[in-house]
Each structure stands twice: as structure tokens, then as C-alpha cells.
Structure 1
Amino acid sequence: MSVSVEVPSLGESVTEGYIAEWKVKVGDHVQADDIILDLETDKITVAVPSPVSGTVVSLHGEIDDAVDVGAVIAVIEEGDAPAASAKVDAKEEAAPKAAAQPAAKKADAAQAPEGLSPAVSRLVEENNLDPSKIKATGPNGRLLKGDVLAHLEKPQGGVQPPAASQGSNEAREERVKMSRLRQTVARRLVEAQQTAAMLTTFQEADMSGIQAIRKKYQERFVKSHGIKLGYMSFFVKAAVEALKEFPAVNAEIDGDEIVYKNYYNIGVAIGGGPKGLVVPVIQDADQLGFAEVEQYITDLAGKVKDNSLSLAELQGGTFSITNGGIYGSMLSTPILNPPQSAILGMHNIIERPVAVNGEVVIRPMMYLALSYDHRIIDGREAVTFLKRIAELLENPERILLEL
């Protein structure tokens, strides 16, 4: 019996992925749960397993092809492994189908440097790169496609400017085709801006209270929980308390309905992995203590770096927080993470002169930004919500006491 293998669900609002690497070829015998191929999205790499044991009859799609969720990408004839002679016959019969693959791509696979997948090998060769000079983040030091793309997006030092006598700007330009990943990210960001009535409101917060708590209890916190007390746990807990008071900020639009969420799954933007910035989700953040939130974030950051996030860890978010301050940003307007209706932006903490009780004092200040969908959240709600978060951050004991 022939069994079709379909592109699985790839996460919220993700309708397609890209073929990153085939793990099998036509005529191969696979066991149930053997990996057939890797699919890439703008968020994650997904390994697609075989649902049955059998022989691969056909494969649909080439490396870098876009495939829709639910599309058939392989057909497997269920059954036991054929005898050795039967395997040879099967491969010979499959030759015409395999010939449909471009000769250049076959050559890429055949000539791929040791340890590199065909997709990675092709990128390396097309861009004349030295694999040994690219930072590898895969298991056992394996070079991933995302590593090569990240390397290509970095400004390369040591480039000599062209001679002035050439007289043309074209000689001083370099054109690099956007990766599938970058194209998808670009499209989704534009869609977010075009679909929602997005506005941003700003507030500032005095961080001296949180800094005092961290300084006073950091050592004891580490001894008790084995992890440092950072800033993000305060923001997550403050966001949860504010979301409880302003349910529209935790809601989303579905057609002509507003869906109010009575749970608080907080997405935290994390960078540094081969996929760039991703937003894994802290599930049921309202039920976690400070140490649990910090551990959750540490675990997610490790998975981002190792490119080992699961789909479940990227789904179900109701509100997101992004921290441009770790890169030195003073102020920004974060873009919504659909289908969520709001996102909170943290920024750099800078000591500035401020007026307190009629006197000018120096305080560690942070600008906060809330981007929101004006279709569902009124300006008054957005401003009051952000002001509430600032109040909680400036008086962190109120977070603990839920006041």
C-alpha cells in the first residue's frame, strides 16, 4: 500500500516551508520514524519522519523549493526491505524519476565536501566560501545552512575598495540573492504592518528599585536556585499582572470575533542562533515564580543557540516582549508578532538626570515601548497598560504582592 507523506503543521500563521535537505533518495528503504527530509521556516528547522516502514517510491520537490502545509512531498510503498537484487532493480526503475532532478544538483550532492549536506555545500560553492572559517552551531560541530546564511549576512572585513579609475559604482557593489529565510521574514514583517492598525506608545521607567533588589539578593538567589536573577523575569511578571487588568491587550482578532485569552503565554524574543531572532514562548507564565521564569528563559536561549527549539515552544503566545537594550538600543517601535495584538519593547538602561520631589537626581532610566493593534486596543487602554507596567517596575514589591 502506498502512503503519502505530507508537509506537517509548521506553527502558528506559517503556511509554507522550504526543503532544506533530503535524507533519503528514491529506492531507499526506511523504517517508521526515520527522517525523510528537513524543512526550514523563518522560525525553525523541522525534521519530517516517515509514517511507515517501506520503500521510497517518489520524492516531490528540490532543495530550496517552497512547499505548502499539507502538500504531498514523498510517497512510500509500505512493506519489508527488499532483497539485495530487488534493491538493484528498484534503483534502476527509479532512475528515470531521479533523472528529473537537475544534473547540477546531483553533482552538488556527489561533490559535497565531507560532512556537509548538499544544501550547505551548494551555498559554500556558490559564494566561494571556506567552510572552516564559518562558525558551526550544529550537533558535533556540524555546519548548518543557517550558519552559512548568517555568515553571508555579516559584513566581511578586509575588502579592498575598487580603484577610483574604474569610475562606476557597480564595481564597488556586491549583489547577493536573499536567502529563502530572509525573504520569508521580510514578507511576514510587511504583512504584519499592512494587516494591523499598528501604533506605538512610549513610557519611561526608573529601574533603581529593581537594581537594588538584584544587588541585595543576587548572591542568595543564586545559592537558592542555581541561576542569576535577571531583568526579564521582572518584565514577564509585570506584563502578566498588567494583562490581567487589561484583557484586550492579551486578546486577538479572528475574523469578525475578538478572542480573549484567560491564560498568559509570554513570548520572549531571543537572538544569537542560526535562525536569527526567534520568539519562543513561556507557557502559563502567571503560574511561575521568578526563578522558574529565569530558568525557562535560560533553557530557551540554549535551545535557540543550538537550533533545537521544538514547534511547541514557538506556539501559543498571547503577548511578546523584545529587548533591544541588550544591543544598545535607546528607543524603537517593535513590530507585532501576529496574531498577537501587542508587543512590549525594552531598551537600554541609561543614567539620566530626572526631577524627583523637586530636585534633579541621577537615576537609571529605561524607555518602554508598546506597539499595539488599534483595531482591538484603544489608545487609552494602551497608554494605561504601559503606565501600569512602569509602575510595577518602579515598585517591584508590588509584583510580588500582586498589588
Structure 2
Amino acid sequence: MATEVTVPVLGESITEATLGEWLKQPGDAVAVDEPIASLETDKVSVEVPSPVAGVMGAHAVQVGDTVQVGAMIATIESGAGAPAQAAAPQPAVTESPKAAEPAPASDDGPAALSPSVRRAVLEHGVDPATVKGTGKDGRITKDDVIAAAATPAAAPVVAPTAPVASPSVAQSTGRKEERVRMTRLRQTIAKRLKEAQNTAAMLTTFNDVDMTAVIEARTKYKDLFEKKHGVRLGFMGFFVKAACMALKDIPSVNASIDGEDIVYHDYADISVAVSSPGGLVVPVIRDADQLSVAAVEKTIGDFGKRAKDGTLKMDEMKGGTFTISNGGVFGSLMSTPIINPPQSAVLGLHRIEDRAVVVDGQIVIRPMMYLALSYDHRLIDGREAVTFLVALKNAIEDPTRILIDL
């Protein structure tokens, strides 16, 4: 007897998703509630659990297919089945005449590769057959590929061909191109960013901040902080709290436009941009103005870990009144961040570097960071944007202001 596996309810207003990865192959033993597939929605990846225990049946859809909520994607047959690693791989499907030869980034076999892992395999020239997977059921992760590429005994570079790609090859030179379909998350990011540019009267204003006081406080208290709170003391906790103070002083930066109305928020839900395998995602720290620095750091640390694992929930990325994006962790010196609609402003943080500055008439070397505030000029005047950055700068350069709410 076969049990159908259908696409679960994905959240409010989300009616479809893309089949990102098969976690179980036909013939694999499956336990009840064990994930058998991964779906990519507009915001996050969602695992589809098996409704019953049994044997993985036929796949009704392929990786990359768009599926509707409630649609059948596979069946679970009754029986014990074979261990996942013993399942026979299905034949690869490519447009190449040498389809019988295994491609280095195949979706087939018991340890199917996710799109991010396939890209890493191609970029680093690693043979996945030589990589030991540390993921669930022995699956290869992106970190496994990077680690294998960094070892002296890494496998020799292989030709970057993939079943999902449509390569265009110049036979005389061996030059290759790969065409890979954009993930649903990347498509949504592209659409929303372009909409923000087309809709908002976007402008960016800059300032710089002396990080000396925050660095000294962090150096002095980081060990005690971690011992007491179980989380490392970073810079984001200071910036989130300083931003919340500045938002109270300049409420238009924390507001949004709804038709012909301006919506002011008496709370600060701070969206923080974090990296995931599929791109940047923006989970929200709810009521950040009511949280301590320790609570903020714990929340951000949890978001970062679960973004990497792909376990963030869609509800955690809804809403938000103001966004902070830290490009400095990637080495960015300066940028003009794009607003996250319907928000009206976004703060960009950048790398800290020693620069010569004048303090009390003397040229000194100080650790400086550029700040960038992109804002919707329809709602926020230039004076308000500059005042917001100055308030933020004052709080960071004198962290005592954060403690006494000054």
C-alpha cells in the first residue's frame, strides 16, 4: 500500500515552492517524520517529512520543478526497505552523448547534492566521490567540499559538467559555460531589490565612527560576558541598541509608507541581514528596543546558525521596521545598501580600519568605520537622516549613552 507525500502548507500567501533536493531515493528506508525532500520557497528552505514509515517510492517531480501546496511529490511504500547508502543510483540524465559517464555534480545516487554543494564542487574542482559527507545520512555539505579543496590530497580538477546545466563549449579552446536556474530565493531577492529601486526615492548619506570605546569595552568584558551569558560579545549588539535609541529620536526612520498614509511604529523590530547557502536572508529581532545587549547577541547568533543550516522559519523573516546589514564581515569599506520594503531605511556597517584622524588638534590613529544610511526621501528628509546617523555615532563613540539611554 502506498501513501502519498504532498507539499505541506508553507505559510500565509505562499502557494508554491521549488523542489530543491531529494533527501531520500527510491528504495531507501524511511522513518516517520524523517525528511525526504527539501523545498525552496521565496524566503527559506523547508524540509518535507514522511507521513509514515516505510520505503521511499517513486519521485513524482524532479529537482528544480515548481510544485503547488497540496500537490503529490512522491509515495511511501510499505515495507522495511534498504539502507540509504545501499540504494542503487538512478541513471544520470544529460544532453551529452556521454550520458553513461557520471558527472561530477550529479543529482543522482544515495547522497544527492544540493544546488549550493553542486556549485561548490564546480568552483573548487573537487570530485564528490572523494569527499566524506558530514551532513544528515552522510550527505555532502558545502563546508565538506571547501575542506576537501583545501587539503593537499584533494582530488584533481575535473571538468565542470552538470545535469542541470546547459553548457556551451568551444571545442577548439575547451572554454565552457554553465547555465544554472536561479533559486526561488535568489529570484525573490532580485525582484524585491529592483522594486525598491523603482518605488522609493532612495538616497544614501554617510558618516564615520570611531570604534575605540566599543573595542576597549569589548576587550575588557568579552570573557566575563561569554562566561555569564554563554554567547560572545560582538559589535552588532552595540549597533542594534544604538540604532533603537536613534529610532526613538527620529521616528520617521522607523516608519513606512502605506498608500497615502505614513505608519509610525512605537516598537523597533530590527531586521538583520545574515548569510545563508542560498544568499542573504533577513530575520527579525522582535522588540529589539526592549532587549539587553546579551539577548540581542544571542538572537543574532541563533539566526546565523540556523540560516547556515537552512532551518529559519518564514515567520521569523516577516515584518521588521528597520534593517542593519554588516558588509564589514566580508571586507567592505563602503557601500550604498538598498532598502528592504516596506521599510524606509537601512543601515550599512563596514570594515574597521586604522586611519589618521584629528582629535583635539592632534593627528592620531584610530579604528574607524564608515556608516551608510540609505533612506526613502519621500518620507525621510536629509536633516533627519543625518541626525539619525549622528545620534548613532555618538552612542557608539560613548557606549555609556546606551546604558543611560542618552
TM-score bracket for this pair, using the shorter chain length: 0.7 to 0.9
Cα distance change on mapping 1:126 and 1:274 into 2, 3 Å: closer
Distance 2:174 2:359 in 1: 54
* Contact 1:59/1:74 (<8 A) preserved: no
Do the aligned residues in 2 keep the contact of 1:336 with 1:342 (CA within 8 Å)? yes
Runs of 5+ unmatched residues, structure 1: 85-102, 152-156, 161-167
The offset of 1:233, in angstroms, is 0.5
Partners in 1 of 2:195 and 2:130 — Cα distance? 36
Instruction: Quote the RMSD (CA, aligned, Å).
Output: 4.8
* 1:47 lines up with 2:43 in the alignment: no
Q: How does 1:284-323 map to 2 (within 5 A)?
A: 284-323=287-326
Residue in 1 that maps onto 2:380? 377
Structure 2 residue runs without a partner (length 5+): 80-91, 95-99, 149-155, 160-169
Q: 1:235-261: per-residue Cα shift (whole Å, max 9, x none)?
A: 010011111222222222333333322
Cα separation, 2, equivalents of 1:15 and 1:122: 27
- Aligned counterpart in structure 2 of residue 235 of structure 1, from 218, 221, 239: 239
- C-alpha distance in 1 between matches for 2:362 and 2:118: 64
From 211, 223, 230, the counterpart of 2:227: 223
Contact persistence 2:111–2:139 (CA under 8 A): yes
Aligned residue in 2 for 1:73: 71
SS in 2 for 1:321: strand
The answer to whether residue 273 in structure 2 is matched with residue 252 in structure 1 is no
The answer to whether the aligner puts 1:279 opposite 2:282 as a matched pair is yes
- Asked if structure 1 preserves the Cα contact closer than 8 Å seen for 2:107 and 2:113, the reply is no
Write out aligned runs for 1:113-192 (5 A).
113-116=109-112, 130-132=127-129, 138-139=135-136, 141-143=138-140, 171=173, 173-181=175-183, 182-192=186-196
| C-alpha distance after superposition, 1:175-210 (max 9, x if no partner) | 221432244433333233223222111011111111
Q: Shift in Å at residue 332 of structure 1?
A: 0.7
Residue type at the aligned position of 2:263: V
With over 3 angstroms needed to count, the CA separation of the structure-2 counterparts of 1:242 and 1:169, relative to structure 1, is farther
Structure 1 residue 145: deviation in Å? 8.9
AA aligned to 2:44 is I
Is the contact made by 1:300 and 1:309 (CA closer than 8 Å) also made in structure 2? Answer: yes
SS at match of 1:180: coil
Tell me if structure 2 keeps the 8 A contact 1:11–1:311. Answer: no
Kindly state the Cα deviation for residue 44 of structure 1 after the two structures are TM-superposed: 1.7
Pick closer, same or farther for the CA change 1:372–1:47 going to 2, 3 Å: same
SS class of match (1:331): coil
AA partner of residue 327 (structure 1)? F
Q: Does 1:17 align with 2:17?
A: yes
Distance change in 2, residues 1:135/1:196 (3 Å): farther
Residue deviations 1:35-54, cap 9 Å, x none? 6743113542112458999x
Q: Which residue of 1 aligns with 2:164?
A: none
Which has a greater percent of helix? 1
Do 1:335 and 1:371's aligned partners in 2 also have CA atoms closer than 8 Å? Answer: yes
Task: Name the amino acid aligned to 2:71.
Answer: I
Query: Does the C-alpha gap of structure 1 residues 348 and 336 become closer, same or farther in structure 2, counting only changes over 3 Å?
Result: same
Give the TM-score of the pair, scaled to structure 1. 0.72
Q: 2:391 aligns with which of 357, 378, 388?
A: 388
CA drift at 1:393: 0.8
Identity of aligned residues (%): 47
Shift of 1:308: 2.1
1:144 and 1:229, CA in 2 relative to 1: closer, same or farther beyond 3 A?
Answer: closer
* Structure-2 residue corresponding to 1:193: 197
Change in 2 beyond 3 A, CA 1:65/1:378: farther
Q: Which amino acid aligns with 2:252?
A: A
- Whichever residue aligns with residue 359 of structure 1, its letter is Q
| Aligned-partner residue type, residue 217 of structure 2 | I
- Could you say what secondary structure the match of 2:71 adopts? strand
340-349 or 212-221: which moved more? 212-221
Give 1:368's aligned residue.
371
Other-structure match for 1:397 = 400
More deviation in 182-191 or 112-121? 112-121
Q: Is the 8 A contact 2:345 2:374 kept in 1?
A: yes
Indicate if the aligned counterparts of 2:24 and 2:110 stay in contact, CA closer than 8 A.
Answer: no
SS of structure 1 residue aligned to 2:218: helix
- The change in CA–CA distance for 1:346 and 1:137 in structure 2 (over 3 A counts) is farther
Structure 2 residue identity aligned to 1:347: H
Task: Provide the secondary structure at the position in 1 that maps to 2:205.
Answer: strand
Q: Does 2:270 correspond to 1:262?
A: no
Question: Distance in 1 between the 2:193 and 2:372 partners?
Answer: 18
Change (3 A) 1:49 1:253: farther
> SS at the partner of 2:295?
helix
1:92 corresponds in structure 2 to none
Tell me, yes or no, if the aligned pair for 1:10 and 1:17 is still in contact at 8 Å: no
Structure-2 change in CA distance of 1:118 and 1:44 (3 Å):
closer
Corresponding residue pairs, total = 368
Q: Which amino acid aligns with 1:283?
A: R
Cα distance 1:364–1:118, how it changes in 2: closer, same or farther (>3 A)? Answer: closer
Match of 2:215 in 1: 211
Shift of 1:398: 0.3
TM-score (norm 2): 0.72
